Amino acid sequence: MNGKSLLSVLDLAPVRQDQTPRDAFENSKQLVQHTEKLGYHRYWVAEHHNMQRIASSATAVLIGYLAGHSEKIRVGAGGVMLPNHAPLIIAEQFGTLETMYPDRIDLGLGRAPGTDPVTTRALRRDQMSSVNEFPDNVKELMHYFSKEDSRVKAVPGHGLEVPVYLLGSSTYSAQLAAALGLPFSFASHFAPGELFHALRVYRERFQPSEYLSEPYAMVTVNGAVADTTEEAERLATTIKLKFLGMVRGGRAEIDTAPVDNIDEYWTEFEKHQVLNMLKYSFVGDQTKVKKELEEFYAEAKFDELIVTSDIHDQEKRKYSYELLANLWN
């Protein structure tokens, strides 16, 4: 694709309807090993709670499992929802991971709860205060990783300088990442609206830091690549139906095999809403996806592209990442 941008993976550890979380973890293990061989740069999993079809709730534990079954690919959180946790706990967890797997662990941080309001209260009672204190909690967490002396130390974690990334779907985290001199990752795979505004804010306001001398922008998109565009479009109906469920007031609980004619399932209004949310989805054969990604890069100028592929069939999911790696290189 180009000589500058890196290619990475976001995995939500989906639990298929005929499977268990254990099957999901096995699929993720296979995928991290597969994408490592293909040359992907990093492999991230994301924190979600109370979602029967997503098995990445204990994010740090899953990261340890995936890092233990791979050799060199970076593995991390994309991300940990910091308002759900005390900063010291996250510092200890990721300090432990960094100690086990040196120079391979990433910590991406978000300020959303990653779940519904009832579950949010079950996770951490004082949620509003936690969200409002997000900037201070990020700084506190980073302090635990620093070499500075402190009465309270993360053990392990102190002095390990685990790399921190800020995640977001608006300009809020873009501004904070710029102020702190941290890498920024935008979640355009489900919230495309503010992508270019957030990237512009991040780059214009970026302050060099001990962590980063210049802006580093990461963009997450959906991808489904197959031998033919027709097959790729069919594979992509799985994620479209999942988002259709959310449009109808549900959550990401729908799991479905791909369908031949998705127009039988939605109205024109629903179709417009779903396709707007999935605007940055690259679906097709290698020629089509390569052309569209080149156009996207020319506009977004990202430093790294993170791709999530919600493809129902595990082997076709692996093959999609293989085709993507081939066209990227």
Establish if 319 belongs to a structural domain: yes
**What average pLDDT does this structure show over 35-48?**
97
Establish if 74 belongs to a structural domain: yes
Establish if 269 belongs to a structural domain: no
Distance, in Å, from the CA atom of 328 to the CA atom of 323, rounded to the nearest integer, reads: 9
pLDDT at 132: 82
Distance, in Å, from the CA atom of 88 to the CA atom of 268, rounded to the nearest integer, reads: 48
For the cut 80, the answer to whether the pLDDT of residue 197 exceeds it is: yes
Q: Quick one: pLDDT band at residue 115, thresholds 50, 70, 90?
A: low
pLDDT at 122: 74
Distance, in Å, from the CA atom of 239 to the CA atom of 184, rounded to the nearest integer, reads: 25
**What average pLDDT does this structure show over 21-49?**
97
pLDDT at 18: 87
Q: How many domains does the chain have?
A: 1
CA distances in angstroms from 237 to 188, 190, 255, 319, listed in the order given: 18, 15, 11, 17
State the residue range of the domain holding 38: 6-229+281-328
Per DSSP (E only), the strands in 210-252 are 217-225
SS3 assignment for 20-83: CHHHHHHHHHHHHHHHHHHCCCEEEECCCCCCCCECCCCHHHHHHHHHHCCCCCEEEEEEEEHH
Q: Quick one: pLDDT band at residue 17, thresholds 50, 70, 90?
A: confident
pLDDT at 258: 95
Q: If you average pLDDT over every residue of the chain, what do you get?
A: 93
Establish if 20 belongs to a structural domain: yes
Instruction: Return the percentage of the chain with pLDDT > 90, whole number.
Output: 85
Per residue in 119-163, pLDDT tens? 777 776 565 656 789 999 999 999 999 999 989 999 999 999 999
Establish if 223 belongs to a structural domain: yes
**What average pLDDT does this structure show over 63-91?**
96
Establish if 171 belongs to a structural domain: yes
Q: For position 57, which CATH number holds?
A: 3.20.20.30
Burial of 22: CB neighbours in 10 Å, binned 0-12, 13-18, 19+: exposed
Establish if 31 belongs to a structural domain: yes
Establish if 1 belongs to a structural domain: no
Per residue in 232-274, pLDDT tens? 999 999 999 999 988 998 765 566 889 999 999 999 999 999 9
For the cut 70, the answer to whether the pLDDT of residue 275 exceeds it is: yes
**What average pLDDT does this structure show over 191-220?**
97
Instruction: Return the percentage of the chain with pLDDT > 70, whole number.
Output: 94
- Give the DSSP H/E element, type plus range, for residue 130: helix 127-132
pLDDT at 53: 87
**What average pLDDT does this structure show over 287-294?**
98
